[in-house]
Structure 1
């Protein structure tokens, strides 16, 4: 368990919150806090604010006294696939760890975004120990993740987030829910604190090492790390999605119509594992495109709404499917707050139109209804850091190998909104090096998940959830190793860590 101490000066700390809080609730929170001390630093790599040392329970930030909730070894920001893995592995390796999550459930898009099942990496032997453990825990909870045909990992969100809670509790990770990273305090080349908005107001978290798993590289950008966003050729982000679930579906009737009557069983799996799809923009001519074309012709749905539709059954939720649509037009930006906010309402309207059309016209959907909306938009790509190693498209095609590789993957270049969609030959794969997780600028920062150092095209391949989980797993191991050996994490040589302590060991032989 993470070490926690009672703070002195609780009365002063209580007053430091920026919004009202009851003394009883405050005392509960104070009991989880640790003493911290910060020196004057820079915020976001540019703005200088007052962050003076204070030998007590609070620190001065922007002229205000705010409480220091935790002073730990490792602070992980973002409780998605990579962040949960990073926190669990750091704690298992002996680091006192706190995990910050802006929602009320761990799992990120795999839970809050209705993005399930996990796609397959298509790389042989790509499951790192953490990924294999998550699959085995699903089995123990009555969810068989393997359909017998594809390599997708089927799950349901309620079970997955419960498993993550279990794993964090067992490892001793302290989780802060409904907590948002607001800012950072940087001293020289070290990130010394992150400023968070909690349910009680602003607070600080100090750590020896920070792991940015926000997906948007927010912690890194705030600390002054160089970044990119969008496709280098167009400036566009990959399109956002607004996934949802539909209940009340007659899965057997749907299967009969699509797989038997239309003779389109391209997934080859059978209920309860079943998938339907159409993607006009990829010109693959799925049988359901005709149905969607008719909707455009009749004016019931728009061409934008007809372009992309995919649905998966959800294991353990009978009659419910996860709808991988709508794909919100690329004119909406994943990195502009105004455009993003407009995309929410636009996407919700698309969602309701698609659902209503399927209910009217797709056999099996006659009694269906929207049973759940995602609690967050699906961002395939937003910001990416520029780290010590920058992965590019050639690394994909050359099947690059690296001595400091933390995982392997072969998911195709899945760049929605762009005319790029390429696959490696069967059995091929490339590796992701540790150097793409660390930066020159901040010595105690590791980045994991879809915002690592990679070009737009390469990121379109490595962004899938199992790969992000493996990257997070390695980040947690590296953080704990750096603390034990007193090594700056951006100076760690991954392949110098004993093989039995690493989650992945490269066999090289490919190109590098």
Structure 2
């Protein structure tokens, strides 16, 4: 539902207003500003990066296809290298490959994002929560934000929804969907955390030699052993798999863990933090909690924090290398994989992935699988190596609002399609294209939802379909 905004002060006026400073929103803001637009970026927290920084989501998942890194991602990786963190995982196997394999250490990433915005001239409005939208004649004219001064308006000619929850789109009356079409449930949420004081090499040896973990051994053994020889902190991950499930079930049998706690367990070493591991868990049961219900969401946070403590205690007691470990950071943002999705001009579905569809107006490519964290739902075959599908520009615009772009995990698509395009590098590339299109549309006096991406000169596009 929109709002009039009557009587509210206007604190900023811009060509482009981006709401949400996550992976997609930040890319959109920087890209639009680099093309000459005056940009305001609204962020409800005090750091950019969204889940990558506030949610402790590390590392980026790969697209599983080469050639997917758009110019913004290439630039970001180079900047991260200058901070002393190598963006490449250094893994090239049949299991883990392709673009986007980056180690964006949160504390470095938030600094680099500030740097990119400052250089491009983006005005960041931190600690500002979206509270409404003002629209007129099929256009958004302003968004209403709650700031430390109270309610205020930000006016712009073009708006980009990078909220992840399609909040700006919903305020503007754009049709949306949420959850699985079959069950109505959202994907499960996570509440990630980091543990310090970890002997990472010792943890690796335990999973490889004691538990004989094929996954850990197969993917990471050469990389880890070389790192240990050079006395460098190794990168690897461990997770709960069928071959080591007995180990984690032992914790349940002893009362140290619950079945909910071991629903999903995954952890990553963090280059740049040699004694720290990032936990991609706990995962709150999707049947118990909803990412689209405010009360349920809040209860999930408290439930997840209890799970976190049990997992940390179990790791410290049972995994060599964790003997002196402790929780050094809790995510300040819940790891929401999926909530609301808009119904745009083009609606992506599972067939786009399964049949590797390409589009003339494609803004990026990916082969990341349909990754649904619920074993009760249908499983989808992965694309063969070298195959990929593309995301069309039309999935980023709507019929209802002529000056609105929607980027990131809330772009137009089905529950299954979103389970593929939701990863950080794909969201960045969507945002990059949206920023370019916003500036182009303004310079050419073309409505944003009428732009033909393929008609923008190739030299100005971030991605060209081949």
Indicate conservation of the 8 Å contact 1:155/1:314, yes or no.
Answer: no
Which of 440, 455, 459 aligns to 1:496? It is 455
Which of 35, 56, 68 aligns to 1:126? It is 68
Q: CA deviation at 1:419?
A: 4.1
Q: CA deviation at 1:423?
A: 1.2
What aligned pairs does 1:327-342 form with structure 2 within 5 A after superposition? 327-330=283-286, 331-342=288-299
Structure 1 Cα separation of the partners of residues 236 and 201 of structure 2: 12
Q: Which has the larger radius of gyration?
A: 1
Indicate conservation of the 8 Å contact 1:395/1:430, yes or no.
Answer: yes
Indicate conservation of the 8 Å contact 2:409/2:418, yes or no.
Answer: yes
Indicate conservation of the 8 Å contact 2:207/2:238, yes or no.
Answer: no
Which of 313, 321, 340 aligns to 2:277? It is 321
Structure 2 Cα separation of the partners of residues 431 and 409 of structure 1: 6
Partner of 1:402: 359
Partner of 1:23: none
Q: CA deviation at 1:147?
A: 2.8
Q: Indicate the structure whose relative CO is greater, using CA pairs within 8 Å and at least 6 residues apart.
A: 2
Which of 164, 167, 171 aligns to 1:218? It is 167
Structure 2 Cα separation of the partners of residues 422 and 161 of structure 1: 36
Indicate conservation of the 8 Å contact 2:354/2:381, yes or no.
Answer: no
Change (3 A) 1:276 1:291: farther
1:276 aligned onto 2:237: yes
Unmatched segments (≥5 aa) in structure 2: 228-232
Unmatched segments (≥5 aa) in structure 1: 1-43, 52-59, 508-512
Which of 397, 419, 425 aligns to 2:384? It is 425
Structure 2 Cα separation of the partners of residues 262 and 358 of structure 1: 14
Structure 2 Cα separation of the partners of residues 387 and 354 of structure 1: 41
Q: CA deviation at 1:422?
A: 3.2
Helix, strand or coil at the partner of 2:127: coil
Indicate conservation of the 8 Å contact 1:478/1:489, yes or no.
Answer: yes
The alignment's TM-score, normalised by the length of structure 1, stands at 0.85
Which of 320, 330, 340 aligns to 1:363? It is 320
Structure 1 Cα separation of the partners of residues 337 and 84 of structure 2: 30
1:258 aligned onto 2:258: no
Partner of 1:111: 53
Q: CA deviation at 1:368?
A: 0.5
Which of 112, 117, 121 aligns to 1:163? It is 112
Structure 2 Cα separation of the partners of residues 421 and 146 of structure 1: 28
The number of residue pairs the alignment matches comes to: 444
CA RMSD of aligned residues (A): 1.2
Structure 2 Cα separation of the partners of residues 89 and 465 of structure 1: 16
1:467 aligned onto 2:426: yes
Deviation string, structure 1 residues 333-360 (Cα, Å, up to 9, x no partner):
0000000000000000001001101111
Indicate conservation of the 8 Å contact 1:97/1:173, yes or no.
Answer: yes
Partner of 1:510: none
Q: CA deviation at 1:262?
A: 3.0
Structure 2 Cα separation of the partners of residues 79 and 476 of structure 1: 13
Partner of 2:397: 438
Q: CA deviation at 1:266?
A: 3.4
Q: CA deviation at 1:50?
A: 4.5
1:238 aligned onto 2:190: no
Q: CA deviation at 1:149?
A: 1.3
Partner of 1:456: 415
Structure 2 Cα separation of the partners of residues 442 and 120 of structure 1: 33
Indicate conservation of the 8 Å contact 1:155/1:315, yes or no.
Answer: no
Which of 102, 117, 136 aligns to 2:44? It is 102
Partner of 2:255: 299
The alignment's TM-score, normalised by the length of structure 2, stands at 0.93
Which of 151, 163, 178 aligns to 1:202? It is 151
Indicate conservation of the 8 Å contact 1:275/1:310, yes or no.
Answer: no
Helix, strand or coil at the partner of 1:181: strand
Helix, strand or coil at the partner of 1:207: strand
